[in-house]
Amino acid sequence: MTQPLARVLIHALADHGAREVFGIPGDFALPFFRHLERCGRLPLYTLSHEPGVGFAADAAARWHGGLGVACVTYGAGALNMVNPIAGAFSEKSQVVVISGGPGVSEGHRGGHDGLLLHHQAKTLDSQLQVFREITCDQTRLDDPQRAPVEIARVLRSCREQSRPVYIEIPRDQVDVPCDPVAALPPSPVEAEAVAACADEVMARLDRAERPVLLVGVEVRRFDLEARVGDLARRLGIPVATTFMGRGLLSQEPVPSIGTYMGLAGCPEISRVVEESDALLMLGVLLSDTNFGVSGERIDLRAAMLAADRAVRVGFHAYPDIPLADLIDALLDRAPVEPSVCAAIPAPALPRDLVADDAPVHPRDIAAAVNDLFDRAGPMPIAADMGDCLFTAMDMRHTPLVAPGYYATMGFGVPAGLGICAASGRRPLVLVGDGAFQMTGWELGVCARHGWAPLVVVFNNASWEMLRTFQPDSGFNDLEVWQFARLAEALGGRGHRATTRAQLRAALDAAHADESCFQLVEVMLPRGAISDTLARFVGAIKGANRPMGT
Ligand code: TPP
């Protein structure tokens, strides 16, 4: 039975794993938004600025392992979302961009016969061309006959490749009758290739004396945490997460040794991973941040890597092996009962904050958060780029979303809102003052949607991470904004802490009040940075040193 094209798209999104839509309308998107609201299949959360929409959709996708949907208008709206979608592409997040577009009947104007269309950049296609670069599949729904197969293909690409996709819906096509979308079967996989690959991986693990599992974001993107946890237990292999994968398997009882960060990380963890004689990397992105700036400390040619639907075992390459298929094949070959794992203690985290009048150091924030989690239970964390993310490495292992590789600022607050929508849970948001200046205003939408995140602003009146790279700079100084005072104006409650005693009191008060968002502004002296950031910057400076110095 046919339905308006907009409805067909909404149902297809939900059937492929979307649970909500984030968006900001515009005249090219109004007809689609009308359908979204009336259809009611997916809740619609409007925000204030398109970067926030993109980040929230990305975080929602990361959280529930389904599709995150970002719905915007043509030109001024969609092009405003290029940065978050580029980040989602880099970090393999399943975001669907839906943009309204010029009607099919308007398509021949734009320069040929007179009037240009507002929001148009260079040509009517410019936006599609831009998104071609940062999405893995695209379609413009200008033919209702083909629309169901186009939608099915694009949404399958999003799921299978775990990268963003782009769908443009011309504003005059929204109500055109259209057949429903039949989901495509998974792309075919050669079972014998999977078996051969799993045999080789198992043989290497069996021979090894010091095997280690290093897990990365694809494990979460493809909803494989429970299966990987099972595999680690049955094989009796210790598990480390990458920097990007921090938070993975935090709900699983696995022999965890913490987060690997190479030179930037805890030396004991680095030693275990780097000295492994069979390092199995599952869903790991080979990036500088994941490998503590340099991959040279690990012999990547000897390691085993399953990512991007391919597996590399030493010099052997197996194309077209989805991560889930490999893990299932390894589980088939693993012992049924758990195996003993030689204990490798995870490093101690800061705890037991001394609540005195001393100024606050980022380590104190980690201790205060750990104390809070110990007392009241852990919260999911959304972190921005900046020292707040490095400080999060000293917090208890709990689900975390953060731009650990693409490293864009502005992610933290909207990502926290994405978690609110996607999980119904209250997140802890960590954000620097510089990043808060970019997207912190999105907290103003909390009252409308009934969200009450707990936000901690690391206020050092500085782009401190950059100052660490370049200590003699003046341009990294920021003014001291009164963020706690802004909270009330945005419908929340603010707390300001300058001492460690005030920090504890502020966190406790903020945690106790769930009636609105809470903003705890922690004043930090310039130059006070986490040990992890200090090591990270030191490692980068070392890596960039000219040869021979
Ligand atoms: N613009 C974006 C969108 N992302 C970036 N990563 C940068 C610029 C470059 N950058 C990296 S860290 C940083 C900047 C500007 C400073 C971050 O400042 P703040 O949020 O206050 O955190 P802090 O470094 O003080 O911990």
In the block, residue with structure tokens 């909404």: 10
ipTM of the complex: 0.99
Mean pLDDT of 272-290: 91
Share of the chain above pLDDT 70, in %: 96
What tokens appear for 219 in the block? 């494990």
Dist CA 365 CA 505 (whole Å):
12
Closest atom, ligand 1, to C-alpha of 533: 26
**Whether the predicted pLDDT of 270 surpasses 80:** yes
**Whether the predicted pLDDT of 297 surpasses 90:** no
pLDDT by residue (tens digit) across 404-426? 999 999 999 999 999 999 999 99
Q: Which residues pair with 476 in a beta bridge?
A: none
| DSSP 8-state class, residue 231 | H
Choose between 451 and 293: higher pLDDT: 451
CA 95 to chain centre: 11
Model confidence band, residue 30 (pLDDT cutoffs 50, 70, 90): very high
Model confidence band, residue 108 (pLDDT cutoffs 50, 70, 90): low
Q: Which of 388, 463, 481 to mutate to test the pocket of ligand 1 (most atoms within 8 A of CB)?
A: 463
Dist CA 517 CA 513 (whole Å):
8
Interstrand relation of 381-383 and 428-432 (parallel, antiparallel or unpaired): parallel
**Whether the predicted pLDDT of 549 surpasses 50:** no
The pLDDT of residue 481: 96
3-state secondary structure of 533: helix
Dist CA 441 CA 51 (whole Å):
12
The pLDDT of residue 107: 66
Indicate the residue type of 38: R
| DSSP 8-state class, residue 76 | T
What tokens appear for 381 in the block? 């964390």
Model confidence band, residue 263 (pLDDT cutoffs 50, 70, 90): confident
**Whether the predicted pLDDT of 340 surpasses 90:** no
Q: Which protein residue has the closest C-alpha to ligand 1 atom 16?
A: 463
Q: At what angle do helices 412-423 and 50-64 cross, to 10 degrees?
A: 50
Sequence-ordered list of residues with C-beta below 8 angstroms from that of 146, at least 6 positions apart, any chain:
none
pLDDT by residue (tens digit) across 382-399? 999 999 999 999 999 999
The pLDDT of residue 109: 54
Average pLDDT, the chain: 93
Ligand 1 is surrounded, with C-beta below 6 A, by 385-388, 407-410, 432-435, 458, 460, 462-466
The answer to whether the beta carbons of residues 95 and 52 sit under 8 Å apart is: no
The pLDDT of residue 345: 76
Dist CA 473 CA 469 (whole Å):
9
Q: At what angle do helices 50-64 and 82-90 cross, to 10 degrees?
A: 20
Dist CA 77 CA 170 (whole Å):
15
Closest atom, ligand 1, to C-alpha of 409: 4
pLDDT by residue (tens digit) across 474-492? 999 999 999 999 999 999 9
Choose between 472 and 198: higher pLDDT: 198
**Whether the predicted pLDDT of 548 surpasses 80:** no
Dist CA 232 CA 212 (whole Å):
9
The pLDDT of residue 112: 54
Mean pLDDT of 39-65: 97
pLDDT by residue (tens digit) across 506-547? 999 999 999 999 999 999 999 999 999 999 888 877 766 544
**Whether the predicted pLDDT of 294 surpasses 70:** no
Q: Which residues pair with 67 in a beta bridge?
A: 18
3-state secondary structure of 239: strand
Dist CA 162 CA 64 (whole Å):
13
Distance 528 CA to ligand 1 centre (A): 16
